[in-house]
Structure 1
Amino acid sequence: MTTGSRVVEALKPPTPDIGAVARGLIAVLAMSLLALAVGSGAAAVWAAGAGIVCASIALQDSPGGRVQLVAIVALQMGAAVFLGSLTSAYTVAFVIVVAVWCLGAGMQWALGNNAGLVAAAGTALLVIAPTDVPSATSVALPTLLTIAAGFVQAALVAVWPPQRWRTQSDALAWAYRSLAADARRIAADRDSPLEAAQLTWLRDAFADTQATRRPAAYHGGHRLPERLMGALLALRGSSGDERDRISHMLNDAAVALDAIAENKHNARREAEHALVRVDTAVMALKGPEGPAAQRFSKQLQEAAEFRFPDLLQPDVMNPLRAAMTEVRKHLTRTSPILRHAVRLSVAVALAVAADRFAPIAHGHWIALTVLFVLRPETAHTYTRCVGRVGGAAGGIVLASLVTTIWQPTGVIAAMLTVACLAITFWVVRFGYLATSAGVAAAVVFLLEIDTAAAGATVEDRLFSVVIGGGLAVVAHVVLPDHALTRLRQRAGELLKTEIDYAATVVRAFVHELDHPADAMSAAWQRAFRARAAFEAASGAARMDSRELRRWLRSYRAALNAVTSACTTLERSLPTQSPTTLTPDFITAVDDYVEALRGAPPNPALPWTVDVAALTAAEKNVRDRAGSLPGDIGAGRVLVSEIATITRSLVGIVPNREPTSAG
């Protein structure tokens, strides 16, 4: 694939690693077969469902702690199964349990998209619980099998991570060993030459495998070693009384870097002890080298935290406390997370009550549809609700064609579930409609594993899906997001699309696109639609506040400046090949685009950019522009318009919109 094709595809979710998907799905099938052999059909459904959720989480990009994350998800799935199997036989108690669980599950979106989706999946396992009278075996065995299914996925991540992770891990290990050798060389001889260009291979490893939008902590994995190299170059010139102290500090830093690069069982302890010695040495520095040494020490800490996520967490309760603190921030009347949690709790509780009290066959699909449709999103709420319902209906129809003709249950249904999920992992990059269809089809086969609950017709499923979709839309109508919250989210969406437009145009200057006009036109169309939605939201908000009106004027002016700069860049696109530009300049522009695009925000927050990173990247572009030949006028235009884009974004991002209209 050419560079241009990668740019066009950058906004789509990356296709998961085929090997990792295959391993995860084989484990799902194995655990469902085991559950069928030693437990009930319901236990097999639960074990397969938990395995699917944990396999999906295992494929998500995270800078560290992947095994612990999957294990925590497994425990959450086990808790849902435990409560479901314990209370499902008692309808009133079950409805109350579902309502309370959904309230907590909705608040979990405050921790991020993945956390919210995991909570929704756990709720799905809860609402499909059969109405059997609980016993010690019927409660304990499914719970243990569910947790075991998740722990199997965690073990697979630990023993056999995806190829992309292995490639990046090997590249980082090589880079840190190289930096450790450089630190020892400088400690012994300050005049020893260093080749910063040797880290280019690391950048290539991440550029080829890293999508443009991953968690913020995962972004720019190659940048930290490059920053450490820059700090080493700054420390190389030290002299005077501090020379010996810096030499000792660099030797300790080399020990820490070697430990960060290793996978030994005692690497974490070695890194921790070495970092303590580095900090002690840095604190003792009093000369002009102090700031550079402090910066180097801080970067070492970041590298260690990247490698050992729990390095600065003395006990296991700290992450839980941090999560609770984040959730408590959203216990306010205007929070979209709290409103989503209330909507979810009420809608799912009503769906479960309808299933239990109304003569609706296989009515659990009502609650499943509500869980499938509801999100804490303000932009395109109703469009996406209807789209997800339509996608789910399409997937159900396709799966029902198979179940009507073949009527698979047990092992065959488990195999069809796995096959359907494999297709879903492939089509996820085509958008949420295709994903909705794939997931719904997989759920059809998943529920057919339990012979006692199988046999739903396509009419039964579609009738419940329509009711569930309508219930989700009504929940949004009855309890909408706050007007200013909607305006804030629309503003964030507009900012995101403007950033995408700017990033596409900027990349077109330094990389050859297959169809540059189509790529930029598509980006502009998205920005145009987002601007129309933003203006509609601003028109619906009360404009009694002078502060709000002033913010709207400044926001529009800043984004107009970004659009104007992009238009100028489009008119000035160079006709010659980007190969005439220097590699350093192209790298600096790529770094600027990465800093510009940022990472997906928390669902409760509007899209934003890292002002400090963006400013530093823009300065780097200006510095590298000095090496351009004088006859490359397009490069000068690019530098000038990048400065305009940065100035506009820096002006609006720190100044958030007012919190009240009056």
Structure 2
Amino acid sequence: MTWLRALRETARSGLRVERTRLEPLVALRAAGGVAVVVGLALWLWSPAVAASSAFGAFAAGMATFQRSWRPRAVLALAAGAGLAVSTFLGYLAAAHVGLFVLLLAVWAFASGMAWALGPTTGLVASLTVAVMLVTVTLPTSMIGALQHAALVGLGAAVQAALIVIFPIRRWGAQRDALADAFAAEADYARRLRHDPVAPFDPVPLMTARSAAVVTARQARRRPEELHGSRVLAERIRPVLASLADPTVGAAAEGPERERAREVLAVAAAVLDSVAKAIRNGDQVRVTERADALLQADAPGADLTGAARRSATRLVSLLSAAVERAEGSGPSDAAGAAHLLRPSVGELLPTAVRTVRRQMRWHAPVLRHALRVSAVASTGYLVGTALPLGHGYWAPLASVMVMRPDFIQTYERGVGRFAGTLVGVALATAITQIAHPGTYTFAALAVVSVGLMYLLLRTGYVVAQVCVGAYVVFLLGMGGTQLEQTVRDRVLLTLLGGALAMAAYALFPSWETPRLRDRLAEWTEATAGYLAAVMEAHADPSRRRPGAVRGALLDLRAAGAAWDQAVTRADAEPVRHRGMSRSAVRDADAALSALGRVGLVMEAHQPATDAAPVPEAARFAAALRQATAVAAAGITARRAPEWKALHAELDAWPADPAGDRVVRRCAALLVDTLDELAEALRPRSTGQRHPAGG
């Protein structure tokens, strides 16, 4: 992709506005926290103090809107602690430009490295840099630093207190995550009716698993309908795939296929009803047709063999899901223990290891941290040198738009400038027409921030319109001349966005060159999952369910990393470096098909007293060994070879007793691996293709 096209695409994405479900009560509560802080500061101190101290409540409110499964009050308090420390240090160093720039560079680097711990931690860390920049406009003294840090912390404490006093839709995020998982499976069942090998995006199931991680205290308070349902959703997915697959499930045509389509349609309706009940905390309402299937003695009528077993198992799982959604089933219906969240002490070593893994020159997070550090300090010096007021707005804009990847940095750069331009213009027009006083300015600022919270998920540009107006009203409350404010904020925001974009262009961390590494990791994870399922069939009496489950989680993580890499690389202005678009597409299809083979085998795992299949053990060992070699070859731009697997398959009896499903899946697996090899085989071509993802 050329730079011109990349800029055009990211600009279009940055200006996109999406329709999404709004949460007006949550937005009202967060805006109320800002109003309390501003009102107290106006009453006890001055408009200038009110304008600056409102940042704590504003930023803590922002933290509570991020995608995190921790309690919202905890997020607000954690953000407040970081903001207070940043404010205090900024105050102490603000009187000495050199010392402040050094502190800013170090603090910005640390905030950039915080992205290794996740987007929520990264955003909160970015907000601490922003509040440090804001403090340079205020008088400095030790007592003043402590007072203002306390005010910023107070804003976060107010947000946390409001969350505790006025709880809104408790466990709502967890309910939505679990409901989304069931809804995704309902959509999957509908698509399987028309495409028996339709792909499934595991992200909703991954999100539901993240949402199910709780503390011991949360586990005791969690609603009954959220206990065990996630594991049921996990078990339903492979059974759906097994029923629809024409290789081991229902026949491709004829009455058996029609019956399978009917069962899938009813399953989709039941899963939708379960999702709706979980989301709203209601009873499950199913149609008469679905109820008849759930109550049927022989739900697999007109089906034979593996397809009949899949239909029977599916109906059993659907019935259990309905009971769990209604809170009427046993708490261990899915046989699942709580996924307990580690304590802070247990998390600290993991966080340190995660950050250390990113301390490599080509690591995206390290490069992001270096960019943020350089741009924040440079932007501050340039903004201060310019004959404009509020020079800190330039580095502030840079820090808030910069992300570890190209797409988000450039999208947010465009969205911030456009949103600021519109927001400042609207706020200025309102001010010129209404000529508000101090308290009216404060009320308008609170309304603006409330709208920002309400519309936060509709698009970054919309949020920035509200933020632009919020800043103008706050400064107007403090007595700043708005004519100068409009010019300064627009120009300095443009400068900050330009610095952020230029920094990424000059010191990038492109995803395109790492595509083959991500593909090799996905290939190894897929083979590991297939081998684990094979080994479960090889010796059912010694089967370890945790081995298959762990391999599946590794597969999902590697697949998500690959999908993210493809999405990012597809928008990068980088020329072809090892994989064409067609190679990316074909390799993706082949590995997705391999994962589906594993799902089918998992759905037909034998009982512990079933006869062992020694051929499956030998095949699994050969698969692990061949994949280790193939993964190294993929990274080195060589097509993988699967001769050893062909030899193992040829040695397998053509029609063994008791393991026909495994034998068929092994044959399908080898054929699919051959398709992967063909997709990655070098092709002689006279032209250079743009990066394929």
Relative to the length of structure 2, the TM-score reads 0.53
Q: 1:558 aligns with which of 587, 593, 597?
A: 587
2:337 aligned residue: 300
Is the contact between residue 37 and residue 54 of structure 2 (CA under 8 Å) also seen in structure 1? yes
Whether 1:446 aligns to 2:449 is no
Is the contact between residue 419 and residue 464 of structure 2 (CA under 8 Å) also seen in structure 1? yes
Could you report, residue by residue, the CA deviation over 1:309-335 in whole angstroms, capped at 9, with x for unpaired residues? Answer: 4xx43xx43334433332222111111
Once residues 39 and 491 of structure 1 are traced to their aligned partners in structure 2, the CA distance between those partners, rounded to angstroms, is 59
Give 1:354 shift: 2.0
Q: 1:47 aligns with which of 30, 37, 53?
A: 53
- Structure 1 residue matching 2:451: 3-state secondary structure: helix
Residues 1:318 and 1:380: Cα distance change in structure 2 (over 3 Å): closer
Q: 1:225 aligns with which of 198, 223, 228?
A: 228
Is the contact between residue 86 and residue 128 of structure 2 (CA under 8 Å) also seen in structure 1? yes
Whether 1:540 aligns to 2:559 is no
1:460 aligned residue: 488
The unaligned stretches of length 5 or more in structure 2 are: 1-16, 187-202, 214-221, 235-331, 521-562, 607-663, 681-693
Once residues 388 and 621 of structure 1 are traced to their aligned partners in structure 2, the CA distance between those partners, rounded to angstroms, is 52
1:85 aligned residue: 91
1:19 aligned residue: 25
Whether 1:111 aligns to 2:117 is yes
Give 1:58 shift: 2.4
Residues 1:445 and 1:422: Cα distance change in structure 2 (over 3 Å): same
Which has the higher mean CA deviation after the structures are superposed, 391-400 or 110-119?
Answer: 391-400
Once residues 457 and 538 of structure 1 are traced to their aligned partners in structure 2, the CA distance between those partners, rounded to angstroms, is 36
Q: 1:142 aligns with which of 140, 148, 158?
A: 148
Residues 1:538 and 1:58: Cα distance change in structure 2 (over 3 Å): closer
State the one-letter code of the partner of 1:226: S
Is the contact between residue 77 and residue 146 of structure 1 (CA under 8 Å) also seen in structure 2? yes
- Structure 2 residue matching 1:148: 3-state secondary structure: helix
Once residues 74 and 455 of structure 2 are traced to their aligned partners in structure 1, the CA distance between those partners, rounded to angstroms, is 28
2:133 aligned residue: 127
Once residues 555 and 166 of structure 1 are traced to their aligned partners in structure 2, the CA distance between those partners, rounded to angstroms, is 38
1:261 aligned residue: none
What does 1:619-630 correspond to in 2, within 5 Å? none
What does 1:567-606 correspond to in 2, within 5 Å? none
Greater C-alpha Rg: 2
2:625 aligned residue: none
- Structure 2 residue matching 1:84: 3-state secondary structure: helix
Is the contact between residue 444 and residue 473 of structure 2 (CA under 8 Å) also seen in structure 1? yes
Once residues 379 and 300 of structure 1 are traced to their aligned partners in structure 2, the CA distance between those partners, rounded to angstroms, is 39
Give 1:82 shift: 0.9
State the one-letter code of the partner of 2:425: V
What does 1:192-591 correspond to in 2, within 5 Å? 217-218=210-211, 224-226=227-229, 299-302=336-339, 305=340, 309=341, 312-313=342-343, 316-379=344-407, 381-406=409-434, 408=436, 410-451=438-479, 456-482=484-510, 484=512, 487=515, 534=569, 540-543=575-578, 555-560=584-589
- Structure 2 residue matching 1:362: 3-state secondary structure: coil
Once residues 444 and 402 of structure 2 are traced to their aligned partners in structure 1, the CA distance between those partners, rounded to angstroms, is 27
State the one-letter code of the partner of 2:371: R
Residues 1:218 and 1:166: Cα distance change in structure 2 (over 3 Å): closer
Is the contact between residue 174 and residue 212 of structure 2 (CA under 8 Å) also seen in structure 1? no
Could you report, residue by residue, the CA deviation over 1:96-130 in whole angstroms, capped at 9, with x for unpaired residues? Answer: 11111111111111122222222222211111224
State the one-letter code of the partner of 2:210: A
2:240 aligned residue: none
Relative to the length of structure 1, the TM-score reads 0.55
Q: 1:38 aligns with which of 25, 28, 44?
A: 44
Could you report, residue by residue, the CA deviation over 1:419-454 in whole angstroms, capped at 9, with x for unpaired residues? Answer: 112222333343222233233332333344433687
Give 1:360 shift: 2.0
1:97 aligned residue: 103
The percentage of counterpart residues that share the same residue type is 27
Once residues 426 and 402 of structure 2 are traced to their aligned partners in structure 1, the CA distance between those partners, rounded to angstroms, is 23
Could you report, residue by residue, the CA deviation over 1:210-259 in whole angstroms, capped at 9, with x for unpaired residues? Answer: x959575116996752377899xxxxxxxxxxxxxxxxxxxxxxxxxxxx
Is the contact between residue 378 and residue 490 of structure 1 (CA under 8 Å) also seen in structure 2? no
Is the contact between residue 33 and residue 57 of structure 2 (CA under 8 Å) also seen in structure 1? yes
1:568 aligned residue: none
Whether 1:161 aligns to 2:167 is yes
Residues 1:420 and 1:229: Cα distance change in structure 2 (over 3 Å): closer
Aligned-pair Cα RMSD in Å: 5.0
Whether 1:68 aligns to 2:74 is yes
Residues matched between the structures, number: 437
Once residues 481 and 572 of structure 2 are traced to their aligned partners in structure 1, the CA distance between those partners, rounded to angstroms, is 45
Give 1:478 shift: 1.7
Is the contact between residue 60 and residue 80 of structure 2 (CA under 8 Å) also seen in structure 1? yes
Is the contact between residue 424 and residue 439 of structure 1 (CA under 8 Å) also seen in structure 2? yes
Once residues 345 and 481 of structure 2 are traced to their aligned partners in structure 1, the CA distance between those partners, rounded to angstroms, is 40
- Structure 1 residue matching 2:360: 3-state secondary structure: coil
Residues 1:52 and 1:484: Cα distance change in structure 2 (over 3 Å): same
2:326 aligned residue: none
Give 1:203 shift: 7.1
Once residues 87 and 440 of structure 2 are traced to their aligned partners in structure 1, the CA distance between those partners, rounded to angstroms, is 23
Could you report, residue by residue, the CA deviation over 1:479-534 in whole angstroms, capped at 9, with x for unpaired residues? Answer: 11146457579999xxxxxxxxxxxxxxxxxxxxxxxxxxxxxxxxxxx9x98984
2:558 aligned residue: none
State the one-letter code of the partner of 1:397: A
Residues 1:130 and 1:115: Cα distance change in structure 2 (over 3 Å): same
Give 1:88 shift: 1.7
Once residues 41 and 450 of structure 1 are traced to their aligned partners in structure 2, the CA distance between those partners, rounded to angstroms, is 5
Give 1:76 shift: 0.6
Residues 1:454 and 1:387: Cα distance change in structure 2 (over 3 Å): closer
Is the contact between residue 16 and residue 425 of structure 1 (CA under 8 Å) also seen in structure 2? no
2:626 aligned residue: none
